[in-house]
Amino acid sequence: MTTAPPSWIELMGRHAASTLLYLSGSLTYRYVSRTGTVEDGAWEFLHGPGDRWRIEKAGQPILIRKGDVAFSWRDDEMHRQKAQIHLHILKPISPTLFVGPDSFLSPNTLSKKVAPTGPVTETAVGGRRAWSLRMSDPSTADTMEFAIDDVTGLLLRVRSSNGKLTAEVIDVEIYEHLPDTTFDWDGEIAPQSENERHRHPDHLRKVHFLAQEIAPRYWPTGVDVQPVVGDPHTGEVVASLTVEGHPTLARWPRQAQPTLIAPELARRYRHSVEWSDDHWQWRLMTATPITQGDLEQIRNSIQG
């Protein structure tokens, strides 16, 4: 007896449920960019619920992710990174587009205008029974074929009618469970770059406190402060004062040289004045001159 094909709505439900599976597979793809560049590639991957990933290329782990913890292979080193960042090293086509919250068919990705253009038909991908449906967007004449695994709901094939994209997932294995160590990295981790350190939430919090330390409580027209950059280890900090002219105030250890005042920042201002106290050297950069009386009140209002 022939099995009636499922509806596309049922298939979408099956695909959404595949997010909860532990599975592995191999993805191969061919992609033609807008400039005509042809990219062929392959990934091996393991997936688990909770957006767990281990994505490899030729045996080299490229992305390992478990919840909010993620590691990516860049410049021949493994780097710790924010889990939600979409990596350029996974482009143009990656396993994350075939299962999980960022897949081609997830509500986060699929345009609301996209709709099926024909009936669901039976097919096979890598020896697995699947259901194929074509979908299109009214804004384009091209259509996309999506083949969804009959058993797991995993997206097994994506193929565009214009021939610019063909991708298949094969060698699929389903597991009852995979150990957490599958989605961990216990090897060496590259030290954070200066830019990465400056973006870290803990670093930003400390710089915020540094900026509050140097914030004057007096300005002729009222004052607020926004941190620009800082070093919690030395106490050096640069902050923008949210007042007319947006002056910048910098502080660094008295016996040292400033390291965080960018030359392009200093060039913005026509005037600057420096002073020192028992611990710090200070520089206030402004677009217009500061009177001596106002400067004394500004200096006396700083609590850091």
Q: Omega of the bond prior to 92 within 30 degrees of 0, cis?
A: yes
Mean pLDDT (the chain) is 85
Q: Name which of 18-22, 126-130, 294-298 the model is least confident about.
A: 294-298
Mean pLDDT (whole number) for 100-107:
86
**What pLDDT score does 42 carry?**
95
- Highest mean pLDDT, choosing among 84-93, 172-181, 230-239: 172-181
Residue predicted with more confidence, 72 or 222: 72
In this predicted structure, what is the pLDDT of residue 222? 66
Pairing of strands 165-175, 155-160: antiparallel
Domains annotated for the chain, with CATH where assigned, are 8-187 (2.50.20.10), 197-301 (no CATH)
pLDDT band per the 50, 70, 90 thresholds, residue 1: very low
CB atoms within 10 A of CB 280: 20
Sheet with 280-286: strands ordered across: 225-231, 236-241, 248-253, 280-286, 271-276
| pLDDT at res. 85 | 55
What is the arithmetic mean of pLDDT over 1-16? Answer: 83
* C-beta of residue 224 within 8 angstroms of C-beta of residue 243: yes
pLDDT of residue 94: 92
The larger pLDDT score, comparing residue 204 to residue 171, is at: 171
List the Cα angle 172/174/178 in 5-degree steps.
120
Q: Which residues contact 288 (CB under 8 A, 6 or more apart)?
A: 245, 270, 271
Which pLDDT tens digit goes with each residue over 245-302?
A: 888 999 999 888 999 888 888 888 899 999 998 899 999 999 889 899 988 988 888 8
198 or 186, higher pLDDT: 186
The predicted pLDDT at position 193 comes to: 60
Per-residue pLDDT for 83 more than 60? no
Question: At residue 233, what is the residue type?
Answer: H
- Residue 90 confidence (pLDDT): 82
In this prediction, residue 20 carries a pLDDT of 93
Least confident of 44-53, 136-145, 210-219, 264-273: 210-219
| Section 30-49 average pLDDT | 93
How do residues 130-160 score in pLDDT, each as one tens digit? Answer: 999 998 876 677 888 999 999 999 999 999 9
pLDDT value at residue 75 = 78
What is the residue-wise DSSP string for 175-204? ES---GGGG---S--PPPPHHHHHHSHHHH
| pLDDT score, position 93 | 92
CA–CA distances in Å: residue 23 to residues 47, 54, 167: 5, 11, 18
Around Cβ 133, how many Cβ atoms within 10 Å?
Answer: 24
Is residue 223 within 8 Å of residue 243, measured between CB atoms?
A: yes
